[in-house]
Amino acid sequence: MKNLIKIINESLDEYMPIIYPEEIFKAMKYTLMLPGKRLRPVMCLETARILGCDIKKVLPSACAIEMLHVQSLIHDDLPCMDNDDFRRGKPSNHKVFGEANAILAGDALLTFAPQLIIEKSTDLSATQIVRIIHEFTKFGGAYGLIAGQVVDIESEGGKLVKSPEETLDFIHLNKTAVLFRLAVRIGAIAAGADDSVTNEFDVFAKKFGLAFQIYDDIMDEISSFEELGKTTGKDKASGKLTYVSLYGLESAKKKFNYLINDCYDIIDKYNSEIFNEILDKLKTRIES
Ligand code: GRG
């Protein structure tokens, strides 16, 4: 895993130039190069690898997914959204570059990412690139990430169209699981996997995404700024709808365990050290 993270960090650094007008490229690169866990690009590369594809082929797409993720973090931290002053252990993008440049940096990352896929995926076929761009734009837009964020904001204002349980799952299938789905699906497309294999990884990523969000909610409650690199305890203080507030800490842990055990079962036949390492890390932290 460390080796993959090193490759991803070096590639992100190489792909993102600092050119005129420097302020926007600096703002884009600032949050991008802070030490995130790189889970989404790692999962993209590892899916491609276990399905028989050279990871070099999918590296531009894996980095593009991290750019999309970072864009969502920059915008999520803005005062008009979650209003967070810290991200990845450092001041949020708008705290360093101002609100206007943080909005523009997010927008620029969102458009830079597909540009990167098209320009750098020289070892993929045109059909594969079109399929990847299709999934990227669909999952990153109003059919995915934005839908999750909108319902999240609505629910904070007390507007629930569905039950709290359905609303919470809708929010996190779209806000969180969607980028893990995108990561494994792009890995599978690059490897030329058939639909049944792609769907198997998709089911894995949906379950992983929900488990990851429950983990995130539990950590917000029991962890510290030093461990997470972002403000903690905000969800509880603001009365936000979370897996912990809806089910309670113990039931949230049980739900996490069901989902993570399903993930182990789905991925078992691939003998992937990396997927097992990711699952083990989350499970161990929840059990400690
Ligand atoms: C796509 C235009 C457009 C807008 C996005 C702001 C927004 C709409 C969506 C918010 C999505 C969001 C911030 C979801 C939270 C998901 C989550 C648990 C993030 C934390 O992921 P980690 O822990 O973070 O992997 P690191 O920093 O390690 O990468």
Structural domains for the chain: 2-287 (1.10.600.10)
What is the whole-number distance in angstroms between the Cα of residue 146 and the centre of ligand 1? 11
Residue 49 beta carbon below 6 angstroms from any ligand 1 atom: no
Average confidence score pLDDT of the chain: 95
Q: Is the CB of 207 under 6 A from ligand 1?
A: no
pLDDT digit string, tens, across residues 135-146: 999 999 999 999
Report the distance separating Cα 131 and Cα 152, nearest Å. 29
Q: Residue whose CA is closest, atom 14 of ligand 1?
A: 175
Q: Are 177 and 209 in contact (CB under 8 A)?
A: yes
Pull the structure tokens for residue 238.
């603001």
Give the number of other Cβ atoms within 10 Å of residue 237's Cβ.
9
**How many Å lie between the centroid of ligand 1 and the Cα of residue 212?**
12
- Band the pLDDT of 230: cuts 50, 70, 90: confident
Least confidently predicted of 11-25, 48-62, 125-139, 229-243: 229-243
Tell whether ligand 1 has an atom less than 6 A from the beta carbon of residue 93: no
60 lines ligand 1 (CB under 6 A): no
Locate the ligand 1 atom nearest the alpha carbon of residue 148 and give its number: 9
Q: Give strand pairing partners of 67.
A: none
110 lines ligand 1 (CB under 6 A): yes
Whole-angstrom distance, CA of residue 171 vs CA of residue 238 = 17
Residue from 68, 75, 256 whose mutation best tests the ligand 1 pocket (most atoms within 8 A of CB): 75
What pLDDT is attached to residue 262? 98
Instruction: Answer whether 31 contacts ligand 1 (Cβ < 6 A).
Output: no
How far, in Å, is the centroid of ligand 1 from the Cα of 66? Answer: 10
The predicted structure's pLDDT at residue 270? 95
Closest among 217, 205, 219 to 247, alpha carbons compared = 217
d(CA 32, CA 30) in angstroms, rounded, equals 5
The answer on pLDDT for 52 being more than 90 is yes
Residue among 72, 78, 86 to mutate when testing ligand 1 (max atoms within 8 A of CB): 72
Residue percentage of the chain with pLDDT more than 90: 89
Using the atom order of ligand 1, give the atom closest to the CA of residue 66: 29
The predicted structure's pLDDT at residue 239: 74
Instruction: Categorise residue 98: left if φ over 0, alpha if ψ from -120 to 50, beta otherwise.
Output: left
Q: Is the pLDDT score of 237 beyond 80?
A: no
Give the model's pLDDT for residue 44. Answer: 98
Instruction: Choose one of 93, 176, 234, 285 to mutate for the ligand 1 pocket test, by most ligand atoms within 8 angstroms of C-beta.
Output: 176
Got the DSSP string for the chain?
A: -HHHHHHHHHHHHHHS---SSHHHHHHHHHHHHS----HHHHHHHHHHHHTT--HHHHHHHHHHHHHHHHHHHHHHTSTTTT--SEETTEE-HHHHH-HHHHHHHHHHHHHHHHHHHHHH-TTS-HHHHHHHHHHHHHHHTTTTHHHHHHHHHHHHTT--SS-HHHHHHHHHIIIIIHHHHHHHHHHHHHTT--HHHHHHHHHHHHHHHHHHHHHHHHHHHH--HHHHSS--SHHHHHT---HHHHH-HHHHHHHHHHHHHHHHHHHGGG--HHHHHHHHHHHHHHH-
CA distances from 112 to 28, 63, 106 (A): 10, 11, 10
Contact between residue 32 and residue 70 where contact means Cβ atoms under 8 Å apart: yes
CA of 151 relative to ligand 1 center, distance in Å: 15
Q: What is the pTM of this model?
A: 0.96
